[in-house]
C-alpha cells in the first residue's frame, strides 16, 4: 500500500444468516433487526434491497442517527435516544452483547437478534446477496431478481471492478494522509468512473436489462458524490452533475422506487461534515448543493430495459421509514 493510504478494516462479525441451517443464524421472520444509518452507503444498499424485495415485514429496521463518537453509532433521533425495539443507546452495546471483549469497528449495517440483543452479522459485502438468495421465502409477490443466476458471474466481476476504485476509492481520497496516496486514489477513482461512463453510454443498467445488485452498489456512492465526496473528500475533478452519462444514470435510479425515497441528503451531509473532525475541524455543514435537479428528466428510457424485470415496483415506504422528499 502507498504510504499514507487508507485501508478499510475487515468486519469482525461476518457470520451469515442462511435458509438451510448451515450456519448458527437461521433465516426466521421477526428474529432480526437490521440496524442502519441513512448517511452510510454500505447501510444504504441494505435499505434499498430490503425495500425492493419487500422484506420489511420479516426484518424490522432500526435507524441510527447521522452523528456518532468514539462509542459508536447512536440512536440519537429516537425518543430517549434509544432504539425502540432493542432498547440500546449505542450500537456498540449489541456488539459487546455478542462479544464482551469486542474492540473492532462498530459498523452499519448490522443484523441484530432481537431476543438476545446480539449482533449476528455485520458482513456488509454478503448481507444484501443473502437477502436476495436466502430470504426468498419472505420476498413480496413481484419482488425483482436482483442477483439473477444467469448473470451472477458478470455481476460479481463488475462489482469487483469498482469496489476498490469507487466505493472504497472516495474514502481513499478523503482519508489519504500523503499527497502521493491521495493522487494515486484520485487517478484510480476518476479512471474507473470514466470506464463506467463508457459502459453505461449505450446500456441502461450495468448488467443485463434490469436493475441488479451491481447497480445498487455503484449508485449509493454516486448519490453521495456531489453532497459529500466532491468537496469533503477532495474528489473534485468533476461533480457527478458534470459527468453526463453517470449523472443521467444516477437520476434514472433516483427516480425509481426504492432509491430516491430511501435517500436523506440532510443526514448524509450531517454525518460526513459533522463526524470527520480531522478533515472538517469546524463541523460546519454546507447548505448546498441544490438537490432539486435529481428530479430532472434523464432520458434513459430510450435505452430500453425493464427496471424490475418480470417483477413490480415496491409499494410506498412503511410508516416511520419515510425520508424527506425533494420539493
Residues with a known catalytic role: 40, 171
pLDDT of residue 86: 98
- pLDDT, average across residues 157-171: 98
Residues of the chain with CATH 3.40.30.10: 17-138
pLDDT of residue 24: 86
Burial class (CB in 10 A: 0-12, 13-18, 19+), 128: buried
Q: Is residue 61 scored above 90 in pLDDT? A: yes
Mean confidence (pLDDT) of the chain: 95
What CATH number belongs to 17-138? 3.40.30.10
- pLDDT, average across residues 268-291: 95
Answer whether 37's CB lies under 8 Å from 65's CB.
yes
Residues of the chain with CATH 1.20.1050.10: 149-303
Q: Is residue 68 scored above 80 in pLDDT? A: yes
For residue 219, say whether it is annotated as part of any ligand binding site. Answer: no
**Gap between the Cα atoms of 148 and 284, Å rounded:** 44
**pLDDT (tens digit per residue) in 87-140:** 999 999 999 999 999 888 899 999 999 999 999 999 999 999 999 999 999 999
Confidence of residue 313 (pLDDT cuts 50, 70, 90): very high
From the candidate CATH numbers 1.10.8.80, 1.20.1050.10, 3.30.360.10, 3.40.50.720, the one assigned to the domain spanning 149-303: 1.20.1050.10
Amino acid at each position: 500500500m502507498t504510504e499514507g493510504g487508507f485501508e478499510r478494516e475487515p468486519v469482525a462479525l461476518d457470520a451469515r444468516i442462511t435458509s438451510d441451517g448451515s450456519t448458527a443464524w437461521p433465516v426466521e421472520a421477526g428474529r432480526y433487526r437490521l440496524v442502519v444509518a441513512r448517511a452510510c452507503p454500505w447501510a444504504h444498499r441494505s435499505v434499498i434491497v430490503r425495500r425492493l424485495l419487500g422484506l420489511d415485514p420479516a426484518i424490522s429496521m432500526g435507524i441510527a442517527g447521522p452523528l456518532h463518537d468514539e462509542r459508536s453509532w447512536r440512536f440519537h433521533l429516537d425518543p430517549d435516544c434509544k432504539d425502540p425495539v432493542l432498547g440500546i443507546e449505542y450500537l456498540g452495546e449489541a456488539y459487546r452483547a455478542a462479544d464482551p471483549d469486542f474492540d473492532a469497528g462498530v459498523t452499519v449495517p448490522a443484523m441484530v437478534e432481537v431476543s438476545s440483543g446480539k449482533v449476528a452479522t455485520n458482513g456488509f459485502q454478503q448481507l444484501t446477496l443473502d437477502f436476495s438468495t436466502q430470504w426468498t421465502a419472505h420476498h413480496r409477490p413481484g419482488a425483482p431478481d436482483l442477483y439473477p443466476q444467469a448473470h451472477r458471474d458478470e455481476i460479481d466481476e463488475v462489482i469487483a471492478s469498482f469496489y476498490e476504485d469507487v466505493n472504497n476509492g472516495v474514502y481513499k481520497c478523503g482519508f489519504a494522509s500523503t499527497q502521493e496516496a491521495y493522487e494515486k486514489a484520485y487517478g484510480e477513482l476518476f479512471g474507473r468512473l470514466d470506464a463506467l461512463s463508457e459502459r453505461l453510454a449505450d446500456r441502461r443498467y450495468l448488467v443485463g436489462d434490469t436493475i441488479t445488485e451491481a447497480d445498487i452498489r455503484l449508485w449509493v456512492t454516486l448519490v453521495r458524490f456531489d453532497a459529500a465526496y466532491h468537496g469533503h473528500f477532495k474528489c473534485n475533478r468533476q461533480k457527478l452533475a458534470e459527468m453526463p452519462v453517470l449523472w443521467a444514470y444516477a437520476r434514472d435510479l433516483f427516480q425509481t422506487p426504492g432509491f430516491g425515497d430511501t435517500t436523506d441528503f440532510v443526514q448524509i451531509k450531517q454525518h460526513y461534515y459533522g463526524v470527520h473532525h480531522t478533515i472538517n475541524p469546524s463541523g460546519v455543514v454546507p447548505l448546498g448543493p441544490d438537490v432539486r435537479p435529481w428530479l430532472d428528466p434523464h432520458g434513459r428510457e430510450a435505452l430500453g430495459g425493464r427496471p424490475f424485470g418480470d417483477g413490480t415496483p415496491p409499494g410506498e415506504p412503511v410508516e416511520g421509514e419515510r425520508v424527506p422528499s425533494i420539493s
